[in-house]
Amino acid sequence: MTGNINSSIELNQEKFRIVGCENLDAEKINRKSITFWQDVWRRFKSNKVAVGAALLLLIITLLCIFGPYISGYEYEVIDKNNRNVSPNTTYWFGTDDMGRDLFSRVCIGGRISIIIGIVCTFIMITIGILIGGIAGYFGGLIDDILMRIIEIIGSIPRLIIIILIQILLGRGIFQLVFALTIVSWTATARLVRGQILQLKEMEFILAEHSLGASPSRIIFKHLIPNVLGVIIVRMTFAVPEFIFEEAFLSFVGLGIQPPQTSWGALAATAQGNLMFYPYQLFFPCLFISLTMLSFNLMGDGLNDALDPKLRQ
Amino acid sequence: MCRFIFKRIGYALLTTFIIITLTFFLIHSIPGDPISPQNLGKYLPEDAVKAFKEKHGLDKPLIVQYGMFLKRLILEGDFGDSLIYIGRSVNKTIKECAPTSAIIGGQAIIIELILGLLMGIVAGFNRGKWIDQVAMVVVILGICVPSFVVASLLQYIFGVKFNILPIYGWGGFKETILPSIALSFFGIAMFGKYMRNSVLSVVGEDYILTAKAKGVSKTNLIIKHVLRNAIIPIVTLFGPHLMFIFAGSFVIERIFAVPGLGKYYVDSVANSDYTMVLGLTILYSVLFIFSLILVDILYGIVDPRIRITKGDR
Amino acid sequence: MQKILEVKDLRVSFHTYAGECQAVRGVSFHVNEGETLAVVGESGCGKTVTSKAIMKLLPEPPSEIKEGSVILFKDKNIVNMKEKELRLLRGSEISMIFQDPMTSLNPTSKTGKQIAEGLMIHRGMNKKQAFEEAVKMLETVKIPNARKRANQYPHEFSGGMRQRAMIAIALACNPSILIADEPTTALDVTIQAQIMDLIKELQKKLGTAVILVTHDLGVVADVADRIQVMYAGKIVERGTTDEIFYNPKHPYTWALLRSVPKLSTKNKSELYSLKGTPPDLVSPPVGCPFAPRCEYCMEICEEAMPYATEITSTHEVSCWLQHPMAPKVEVPNELMVGGEINGAS
């Protein structure tokens, strides 16, 4: 209550005329209205770490696609005269114990690893959305049955199912994708179901219902856009998980089989030569780690950008 | 609470039974057993093959074999014999190898809990400071660098460069150090990450303010009010985490040439030693399923709110 | 009456990404022994920040109690106190009840233990004595089956009972000041009255001074001795309860009074609601903060901060309408019910 009158202000009768607040627009919204996705993009862009991770990912992907053409070496060509060559100007990443160019092999291996990561993610997300959506939207008995199945699958160690399926179907890239996806959709299904159950309770869905909106309108106009954010985040975290699992399985010899190769398989071969040629292990490991890192950092950035609670 | 536990155990037994059955039929439907002409069979005389099949009951119909397997498993706890190593039973393998795996796994879990929780707590209480940032880098590395990379790195640094620790084999405590550290790396990061988040969310709770307004000392505030509540969500991580320890042991035991169950399991899969795969799969599943129940019970002890609500369901 | 707490020129800022948010901008007031002082204002006006600042419960950073702020309690400046001194003060001399009883009790600790904790710290009691005392406290706040209840966890309590337990925690050590921050906002209307009655009764019994922070003038009418109205981090009007209800001077106080629903409203017109939102305190206005929403806004209001005008020795208002040059403004009609200004309750 210590309002000192600013002496520079001259007090006169003029100043004491009531103006009122009628023409003062107290509730004016100053912020320019932008859509949700514009806002997400703006926030993602301002996150330097996430953008850096996305760029790194782009570089790795481009390298995997075009790398073998730049190096000029075929990934499976054996050169008995150039075994275990350390990295130099001709062989950028050196050669392996059969004289194959490691740079080309890392790029080709990366293709397999990244493709497996992406393909598995898409299959997993599709199954997950479908089953989670059905369970959440219809509820009741269908929901109960589906949730029990999910519970049983969830209570078996995931890696063991993958290994069993590979024993049954043999080893190869398709079997691997099948095995990886069959165990992984449950988390997504749970997530989608939870989101839909939560949304179903929301007032705006009730309002739509009472206005006579058709189920398809509710699903496409409200449920999917609202679940989309969560799913995109889930996807960015799923890709590195699959890459990791593929690498893991290939490393113990249960994943990709020669002559095909992947980062995990490359690391497994190089592991035996660790004592003498550590560079052979270094490059595939570096690429796995960098890819996982950039996916995770990008996922964190997307998560922050998509969180409506953080919107300002 | 008791009813809840019994119900969970009932479910667990049912799940175990389903897993046993599924695994059994899956494995026996694989075309070509190890003794078939495509595999070992081509090196053996026909009589030997026949004798082998009779001994293992492989000549009987599948359903009979299943019955025999179940009977032996339930009555005698016998998983059968290895198909590859003559005279080696699955039970003997478990008895010999399980302790090895348990030592490494147990040490890894202890390291994870101590380092991970400590890191999470320190980072959570020092949010935004340098120590928090260091912890976040460790977390990101732990999650992004696969365990086999960590293991190789450790081998290279401690074995090849400095030569202070054995990098292969099994024997005394020294041999367990590197495998345990390699196995715990992911867990440190994971526990650290979740503990930090948990501490941060508890610190912001109203009841912490209430405690402060009571004049509780800082140590008591951290231990009795913050940590007591922050540990609750961490308990639920234990169950799923055991799976990572199992899976990690597959790779770590291989890299460090540790004669544990994980290495045996991978080898039996690679060698198509089906009875061994079957037995170990069941063992892993049962361990996992019952560890989930243990976590549920633990959760009920840690969180008083669960004791009532879950029992009603 | 003895002044027990005196706040002088309290200024509190929060350092946010957007800049320095000046939540409390130079607030001065005092609390007398055993009286009830109500601090009224809408959300974001700085009333909760003020009350938390008295106990130094604001997290630093992001908050900062500015240089020159003084909070005198028994001749000691709380602002300069060390953590150790503060601990002795909190809970034993000054305690606090929070808004949401659902979240302000520790879910993993038995209720009795939570009450006993303060007693063990400040009264040096052992576990058993403190627990017995906690049971007595639960009886005092009228929780039936106190002994059994003391051994239960907060989730087994209803909302109203939890707030009673909170009151028991706050009053366990018989403090000289109780700060109640919106103690009834999160509760059902029927429970609200019970809790207010309980606070009033215990205050009389124990002789505690109460600072009641609320946004609801209806709640304070029959509880408070004095009322101060806050807006945008400043006190705009203060006076005894009668003065505020029967002779309000500030347009913001009028707006608050007009928005209290009452049965006696003759014309069934719509309930008055104040338009607009309080100003952004990252860049507070130079003039009167209420000017943009004020029906009686004058040019001067936008240009300079009004100073405090004393109406009586207890009644003060900061408004340019009190200036001799200002036009005479009548109190809005709705506040005049049956020839008398809207009365308490």
Res. A253: pLDDT tops 90: no
Compare all CA atoms of chain B with the CA of A285 and give the residue at the minimum distance.
B149
Condensed to tens digits (0 to 9), the pLDDT of residues A199-212 reads: 777 777 777 778 77
Cβ atoms of residues C228 and C243 within 8 Å: no
**Size of the A and B interface in Cβ pairs below 8 Å:** 99
Q: What is the pLDDT at residue C268?
A: 58
Q: Does B23 touch chain A (CB under 8 A)?
A: yes
Strand, coil or helix: what is C226? strand
Condensed to tens digits (0 to 9), the pLDDT of residues C171-196 reads: 888 888 889 888 887 778 788 888 88
Q: What is the set of domains in chain B, with CATH numbers?
A: 2-76 (no CATH), 94-302 (1.10.3720.10)
Condensed to tens digits (0 to 9), the pLDDT of residues B6-36 reads: 888 888 888 888 888 888 887 777 665 555 5
Per the prediction, chain B carries an average pLDDT of: 81
- Which is higher by pLDDT, A119 or A304? A119
Q: What is the pLDDT at residue C343?
A: 44
Question: What does pLDDT average to in each consecutive run of 10 residues of chain B (313 residues)?
Answer: 78 83 79 56 67 69 82 80 75 85 90 92 88 89 86 83 77 83 90 90 87 86 88 84 84 86 83 81 85 83 66 36
**Test mutation, A150, A152, A153, A156, chain B, max B CBs within 10 A:** A156
Interval C4-8 mean pLDDT: 87
Res. A170: pLDDT tops 50: yes
State the pairing for strand pair C234-240/C226-231: antiparallel
C-alpha angle C212-C215-C219 in degrees, rounded to nearest 5: 60
State the pairing for strand pair C316-318/C308-310: antiparallel
Condensed to tens digits (0 to 9), the pLDDT of residues B221-232 reads: 888 889 988 888
Structure tokens at B265: 């399991």
Alpha carbons A236 and A305: distance in angstroms, whole number: 13
What's the CATH class of domain A43-79+104-310?
A: mainly alpha
Instruction: Give the H or E element holding residue C65.
Output: strand C63-65
Stated pTM of the model: 0.81
Alpha carbons A240 and A247: distance in angstroms, whole number: 10
User: Which one of A104-113, A123-132, A157-166, B297-306 scores highest in mean pLDDT?
Assistant: A123-132
Q: Does C96 touch chain B (CB under 8 A)?
A: yes
Subunits in contact with chain A (3 or more CB pairs closer than 8 Å): B, C
Q: What is the pLDDT at residue B117?
A: 92
Q: How confident is the model at residue C49 (pLDDT cuts 50, 70, 90)?
A: confident
Q: What is the pLDDT at residue A260?
A: 79
Alpha carbons B159 and B257: distance in angstroms, whole number: 14
Cβ atoms of residues B19 and B283 within 8 Å: no
Cβ of B197: how many Cβ atoms within 10 Å?
16
Nearest alpha-carbon partner for B246 in B199, B297, B158, B186: B186
Residue with tokens 């001065």: C28
What is the fold of C31-56+78-215? Rossmann fold (3.40.50)
What percent of chain B clears pLDDT 70, i.e. is strictly above it? Answer: 88
Asked if C9 lies within 8 A of A2 by C-beta distance, the reply is yes
Condensed to tens digits (0 to 9), the pLDDT of residues C297-315 reads: 887 777 788 888 888 888 8
A168 closest CB neighbour out of B12, B29, B251: B29
Q: Does A156 touch chain B (CB under 8 A)?
A: yes
Structure tokens at A24: 């003062």
**Measured between alpha carbons, how far is residue A98 from residues A82, A84, A95, A105, A262 in Å?**
8, 7, 8, 12, 17
Concatenating the DSSP letter of every residue in A227-284 gives: HHHHHHHHHHHHHHHHHHHHHHHHHTTSSS-TTS--HHHHHHHHHTTTTT-HHHHHHH
Nearest alpha-carbon partner for C234 in C314, C320, C306: C306
Q: How confident is the model at residue C316 (pLDDT cuts 50, 70, 90)?
A: confident
**Test mutation, C16, C39, C295, chain A, max A CBs within 10 A:** C295
Q: What is the pLDDT at residue C344?
A: 41
Cβ atoms of residues B165 and B174 within 8 Å: yes
Strand, coil or helix: what is C71? strand
Cβ atoms of residues B101 and B253 within 8 Å: yes
Interval A163-179 mean pLDDT: 81
Least confident of A229-233, B69-73, C267-271: C267-271
Q: Omega into C62 within 30° of 0, i.e. cis?
A: yes
Asked if C308 lies within 8 A of A1 by C-beta distance, the reply is yes
Res. A310: pLDDT tops 60: no
A17 closest CB neighbour out of C234, C298, C323: C298
Helices (H), chain B: 2-28, 46-56, 62-76, 90-111, 118-125, 130-144, 147-154, 173-203, 206-214, 218-220, 228-235, 238-255, 261-270, 274-302, 304-312
Compare all CA atoms of chain C with the CA of A3 and give the residue at the minimum distance.
C307
All structural domains of chain C with their residue ranges: 31-56+78-215, 230-261+279-341
C108 closest CB neighbour out of B217, B303, B308: B303
- Write phi, then psi, for C339 (nearest 5 degrees): 75, 0
Condensed to tens digits (0 to 9), the pLDDT of residues C23-43 reads: 888 888 888 888 888 898 888
Alpha carbons B8 and C53: distance in angstroms, whole number: 50
What percent of chain C clears pLDDT 70, i.e. is strictly above it? Answer: 93
Q: What is the pLDDT at residue B310?
A: 40
**Size of the A and C interface in Cβ pairs below 8 Å:** 81
Cβ atoms of residues A42 and C321 within 8 Å: no
- Which is higher by pLDDT, A102 or A28? A102
What percent of chain A clears pLDDT 90, i.e. is strictly above it? Answer: 3
Q: How confident is the model at residue A273 (pLDDT cuts 50, 70, 90)?
A: confident
Question: Exposed/middle/buried for B124, CB within 10 Å: 0-12, 13-18, 19+?
Answer: buried
- Which is higher by pLDDT, A6 or A273? A273
Res. C216: pLDDT tops 50: yes
Question: Exposed/middle/buried for B143, CB within 10 Å: 0-12, 13-18, 19+?
Answer: buried
Nearest alpha-carbon partner for C329 in C294, C283, C281, C286: C294
All structural domains of chain A with their residue ranges: 43-79+104-310
B214 closest CB neighbour out of C91, C100, C103: C91
Asked if C297 lies within 8 A of A17 by C-beta distance, the reply is no
Please give the ipTM for the structure prediction.
0.79
Residues 6+ away with beta carbon under 8 Å from C65:
C10, C11, C12, C53, C56, C58, C79
